[in-house]
Structure 1
Amino acid sequence: MLLGRAAECRRLDEALATVRKGDSTVLVMRGDPGVGKSALLDYLSTAAAGLRIVRVAGVESEMELPYAALHQLCLPLLDRVDRLPEPQAEAVATTFGLRTGPPPTPFLVGLGVLNLLAEAAQDAPVLCVVDDAQWLDAASAQVLMFVARRLQAEAVLMVFATRHDLPGMRDLPLLPVAGLPDDDARRLLSSVVRWPLDDSVRHAILAEAAGNPLALLELPLGRAPAALAGGYGLLDVLPLSGRIEESFRRRIDELPAEDQALLLVVAADPVGDASAIWRAAAALGIDREAGGTAVRAGLLRIGVRMTFRHPLVRSAVYGAAPPAERRRAHRALAEVTSPESDPDRRAWHLAQATAAEDETVAEELEASASRAQARGGLAAAAAFLERAASLTTDEQRRADRALAAAQAKYDAGSLVDARVLVDRAANGRPDALRDAHITHLRGHLAFASGDSADAPALLLSAARQFERLDPGRARETYLDALTYALLAGRFAQKADVAAVAAAARAAPSAAPSGAAVAPSAAPVAPSAASPLRAADLLLDGLAALHTDGHAAGVPPVRRALDAFRRPDLPPAEALRWLSIACHGSYEVWDDDAWTALAEAHVRLARLNGALVMLPVALNQRVNAHLHAGEFGAAAALAAESDAVGEATGIARPRYSAAAVAAWRGAEDVATALIADAMETVVRRREGIGLTLIQYTNAVLHNGLGRWPQAVAAAELATAHPGESAFAAWALAELVEAAARAGEPEKAERAYERLVLTTRPSATDWSLGVEARCRALITTTAAAEAHFREAIDRLGRSRGAMPLARAHQVYGEWLRQRDRRTEARAELRKAHEMFAAVGAQAFAERAGRELLAGGEAAVPDRSRPAVDALTPQEQQIARLARDGRTNTEIGGELFLSARTVEWHLRKVFNKLGIANRRELARVLPDPRPGRIRAA
Structure 2
Amino acid sequence: MLRGRQAECREIRSLLAAPAGKALLLHGEPGSGRSTLLAYAHRHGRGRRLLAAAGLPDEAMLPYAGLQRLLDPVLDGIGALPERQREVLRRAVAGEGCRDQDQLVLSHAVLGLLAEAAHDGPLLCTMDDLDVGDAPTARLLTLVARRLPQLPVVLLLTAGSDRGADAIPGRRLLPLDEPDSHALLAARRPGPPPPGPVLAGLSALAAGNPRALVDLADSLTHGQWRGVEPLPTTPPADGGLGRAYRGLLSRLPGETRRALLLAALAATAPAAPDLADHTDVADPVTLSRALRAAGDSLAALAPAEAAGLIRFTAPGGVAFPRSLARAMVEATASVTARRDAHLLLAAALDGTGARLRRALHLAAATDGPAPALATELADAVDDRADRSTAATALARAAELSDDPVLAASRQVTAARYAWQAGDPGRARALLHRVADVPVTSPTGGLAELLRGEMRLRCGSAPAALPNLLAAAGALAEMDRESALVALVRAGEAVCFCGDQYRYAEVARRMAALRRDGDPPWADLLTTLVAGVAATLRGDHAHGGPLLRRAVVFGDRLTSAAATPTALTGAAVAGLLVAVDAAAYRLADRAVELAADRGEVSLLPRALELRAMSEYWLGRHEAATQSCREGLRVARAAGQRSSAGVHLGLLAVLAAVRSDHDASLGHVAELGDVAVPGSRPHALAEWALALLDLVDARYADAADRLAALARPGTGRGQVLVQVMATPHLVEAAAHDGRHARARAALAVFDRWAGSTASPLRRALSARCHALLAPRGSAEAERYFRAALSLHPCDAATFERARTELLFGRELRHARRPREARGHLHRARQTFILLGAEAWARQSTVELRAAGESVGTPDPDAVRLLTGQQLRVAHLVASGATNQEVARQMFLSTRTVDHHLRNIYHRLGIRSRTELVRALG
Please state if 1:212 is matched with 2:164. no
Shift of 1:212: 2.7
Structure 2 counterpart of 1:386 = 395
Please state if 1:549 is matched with 2:539. yes
Match of 1:672 among 661, 665, 671: 665
| 821 and 243 in structure 1: CA distance in 2 versus 1, 3 angstrom threshold | closer
Please state if 1:573 is matched with 2:490. no
Q: How many pairs align?
A: 661
Match of 1:701 among 685, 689, 692: 692
Residues 440 and 462, structure 1, Cα contact 8 Å, conserved in 2:
yes
| Partner Cα distance (1:413, 1:611) in 2 | 5
1:387-429 deviation line (CA, Å, top 9, x unaligned): 1111111122111111121112112222122123223235357
Give 3-state SS (helix, strand or coil) of 1:830's partner. Answer: helix
Structure 2 counterpart of 1:397 = 406
Shift of 1:553: 0.9
Match of 1:359 among 354, 371, 383: 371
Please state if 1:753 is matched with 2:711. no
Shift of 1:202: 9.5
1:536-569 deviation line (CA, Å, top 9, x unaligned): 4323322332346323211211222233344x64
| 847 and 186 in structure 1: CA distance in 2 versus 1, 3 angstrom threshold | closer
| Partner Cα distance (1:459, 1:277) in 2 | 50
Between 439-448 and 543-552, report the one with greater CA deviation.
543-552
Give 3-state SS (helix, strand or coil) of 1:458's partner. Answer: helix
| Partner Cα distance (2:666, 2:356) in 1 | 47
| Partner Cα distance (1:268, 1:861) in 2 | 64
Give 3-state SS (helix, strand or coil) of 1:761's partner. Answer: coil
Structure 2 counterpart of 1:21 = none
Match of 1:794 among 790, 793, 797: 790
Give 3-state SS (helix, strand or coil) of 1:509's partner. Answer: coil
Give 3-state SS (helix, strand or coil) of 1:845's partner. Answer: helix
Shift of 1:581: 3.2
Please state if 1:466 is matched with 2:458. no
Residues 471 and 511, structure 1, Cα contact 8 Å, conserved in 2:
no
Shift of 1:343: 4.6
Residues 369 and 400, structure 2, Cα contact 8 Å, conserved in 1:
yes
Shift of 1:907: 2.9
Matches within 5 A, 1:331-342: 333=344, 336-341=347-352
| Partner Cα distance (1:531, 1:623) in 2 | 23
Residues 735 and 773, structure 1, Cα contact 8 Å, conserved in 2:
yes
Give 3-state SS (helix, strand or coil) of 1:654's partner. Answer: helix
| 478 and 787 in structure 1: CA distance in 2 versus 1, 3 angstrom threshold | same
Structure 2 counterpart of 1:540 = 530
| 873 and 801 in structure 1: CA distance in 2 versus 1, 3 angstrom threshold | closer
| Partner Cα distance (1:552, 1:862) in 2 | 55
Residues 471 and 510, structure 1, Cα contact 8 Å, conserved in 2:
no
Please state if 1:500 is matched with 2:500. no
Structure 2 counterpart of 1:734 = 728
| Partner Cα distance (1:808, 1:828) in 2 | 9
| Partner Cα distance (1:646, 1:759) in 2 | 38
Shift of 1:656: 4.9
Residues 502 and 547, structure 1, Cα contact 8 Å, conserved in 2:
no
Shift of 1:859: 5.4
Structure 2 counterpart of 1:838 = 834
Match of 1:654 among 641, 647, 651: 647
Shift of 1:740: 0.4
| Partner Cα distance (1:274, 1:554) in 2 | 61
| Partner Cα distance (1:906, 1:695) in 2 | 37
Structure 2 counterpart of 1:558 = 548
Structure 1-normalised TM-score?
Answer: 0.58
Shift of 1:857: 1.8
| Partner Cα distance (1:487, 1:700) in 2 | 24
Structure 1 counterpart of 2:107 = none
| Partner Cα distance (2:857, 2:733) in 1 | 30
Shift of 1:711: 1.8
Residues 698 and 709, structure 1, Cα contact 8 Å, conserved in 2:
yes
| Partner Cα distance (1:794, 1:540) in 2 | 31
Give 3-state SS (helix, strand or coil) of 1:560's partner. Answer: helix
1:47-78 deviation line (CA, Å, top 9, x unaligned): xxxxxxxxxxxxxxxxxxxxxxxxxxxxxxxx
| Partner Cα distance (1:306, 1:474) in 2 | 45
| Partner Cα distance (2:330, 2:546) in 1 | 67
Residues 423 and 638, structure 2, Cα contact 8 Å, conserved in 1:
no
1:615-669 deviation line (CA, Å, top 9, x unaligned): 5555545554554544555555566666767887877233454333222222233
| Partner Cα distance (1:445, 1:305) in 2 | 37
| Partner Cα distance (2:882, 2:846) in 1 | 37
| 506 and 273 in structure 1: CA distance in 2 versus 1, 3 angstrom threshold | closer
Structure 1 counterpart of 2:719 = 725
Residues 635 and 871, structure 1, Cα contact 8 Å, conserved in 2:
no
Structure 2 counterpart of 1:30 = 28
Residues 379 and 408, structure 1, Cα contact 8 Å, conserved in 2:
yes
Shift of 1:700: 3.0
1:105-133 deviation line (CA, Å, top 9, x unaligned): xxxxxxxxxxxxxxxxxxxxxxxxxxxxx
Residues 881 and 895, structure 2, Cα contact 8 Å, conserved in 1:
no
Residues 420 and 602, structure 2, Cα contact 8 Å, conserved in 1:
no
Structure 1 counterpart of 2:493 = 484
Structure 2 counterpart of 1:712 = 703
Residues 706 and 721, structure 2, Cα contact 8 Å, conserved in 1:
no
| Partner Cα distance (2:624, 2:543) in 1 | 34
| Partner Cα distance (1:872, 1:606) in 2 | 31
| Partner Cα distance (1:196, 1:769) in 2 | 80
Structure 2 counterpart of 1:509 = 515
1:479-502 deviation line (CA, Å, top 9, x unaligned): 232233323325x8x8x4343234
Between 597-606 and 339-348, report the one with greater CA deviation.
597-606
Shift of 1:825: 4.2
Give 3-state SS (helix, strand or coil) of 1:374's partner. Answer: coil
1:32 is matched by which residue type in structure 2? P
Structure 2-normalised TM-score?
Answer: 0.59
Give the gaps of 5 or more residues in structure 2.
Answer: 1-7, 9-25, 36-49, 74-125, 136-236, 267-285, 308-315, 905-912, 915-919
Identity %: 23
Residues 721 and 727, structure 1, Cα contact 8 Å, conserved in 2:
no
| Partner Cα distance (2:414, 2:693) in 1 | 51
1:412 is matched by which residue type in structure 2? A
Please state if 1:350 is matched with 2:362. yes
1:357 is matched by which residue type in structure 2? P
Give the gaps of 5 or more residues in structure 1.
Answer: 1-7, 9-27, 38-180, 204-208, 219-236, 283-290, 299-303, 514-529, 894-899, 914-921, 924-934
1:800 is matched by which residue type in structure 2? T
Give 3-state SS (helix, strand or coil) of 1:584's partner. Answer: helix
Residues 52 and 70, structure 2, Cα contact 8 Å, conserved in 1:
no
| Partner Cα distance (2:327, 2:618) in 1 | 61
Between 639-648 and 409-418, report the one with greater CA deviation.
639-648
1:733-775 deviation line (CA, Å, top 9, x unaligned): 1111011012233223323333342333364333332232223
Give 3-state SS (helix, strand or coil) of 1:357's partner. Answer: coil
